[in-house]
């Protein structure tokens, strides 16, 4: 962006005087902080949240990654990060630390370590709650048709997908699986067709 256009843009946002008084480095940081928190930017609108979704080894091996991504995109959510990895035992133990006293914990860690995982971060209005509804119940037998687990799973030990159960756990899980630089902020061209 040319300096002339940036100056006009900052004036439009009411930020020019604020930016003019600071050193360039501080101005850039202030501008990006402003853009990230204001609805004018279209990047993180009010009531927008992020969730962590992981396609487990059985979902990856069965070729369901594309179908899962498709469902989240069709719902109107925006992917801001994704990676395929073989998660370390240490990472998995930290991820499932709240289950460490359960009898199935060692088997869960072993299963999650048995193959590649697709870790993703999705963003959108009420994405945590809606994402959980899209996944279905933890036990596929209790999941309704039309949910991911209801359509693709039979047994609780192979339920193909993990989704954060709260905004707080989503933030914890995102920070555990991704570095801040791996999260990509952008405004989707479909944003204005999905949100008022």
Residue ranges for the known binding site for ATP are: 56, 104, 132, 138, 149, 159
86 carries an active-site annotation: no
Q: Which residue of the set 5, 95, 162, 191 is catalytic?
A: 162
Instruction: For residues 79 and 96, give the distance between their C-alpha atoms in angstroms, rounded to a whole number.
Output: 23
Contact 43, 36 (CB under 8 A): yes
Contacts for 85-88: CB closer than 8 Å, 24+ residues apart: 85/116, 85/117, 85/119, 86/113, 86/115, 86/116, 86/117, 87/112, 87/113, 87/117, 87/119, 88/113
| φ/ψ of residue 47, rounded to 5 | 65, 10
Give me the residues paired with residue 89 across strands.
none
What lies within 8 Å, CB to CB, of 143 at 6+ separation is 136, 137, 149, 150, 153
Please report, in range form, the residues annotated as the binding site: 56, 104, 132, 138, 149, 159
Active site residues: 162
């Amino acid at each position: 962006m040319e300096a002339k256009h940036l100056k006009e843009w900052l004036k439009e946002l009411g930020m020019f005087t604020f930016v003019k008084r600071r050193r360039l480095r501080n101005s850039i940081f202030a501008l990006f902080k402003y853009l990230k928190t204001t609805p004018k930017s279209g990047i993180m609108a009010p009531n927008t949240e992020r969730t962590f979704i992981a396609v487990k080894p059985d979902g990856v091996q069965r070729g369901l990654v594309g179908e899962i991504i498709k469902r989240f995109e069709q719902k109107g959510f925006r992917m801001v990060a994704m990676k395929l990895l073989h998660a370390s035992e240490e990472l998995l133990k930290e991820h499932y630390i709240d289950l460490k006293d359960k009898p199935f914990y060692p088997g869960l860690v072993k299963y999650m370590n048995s193959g590649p995982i697709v870790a993703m971060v999705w963003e959108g209005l009420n994405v945590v709650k809606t994402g959980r509804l899209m996944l279905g119940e933890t036990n596929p037998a209790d999941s309704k048709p039309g949910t991911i687990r209801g359509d693709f799973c039979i047994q609780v030990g192979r339920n193909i997908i993990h989704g954060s159960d709260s905004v707080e756990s989503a933030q914890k899980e995102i920070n555990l699986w991704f570095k801040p630089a791996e999260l990509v902020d952008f405004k989707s061209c479909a944003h204005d067709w999905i949100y008022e």
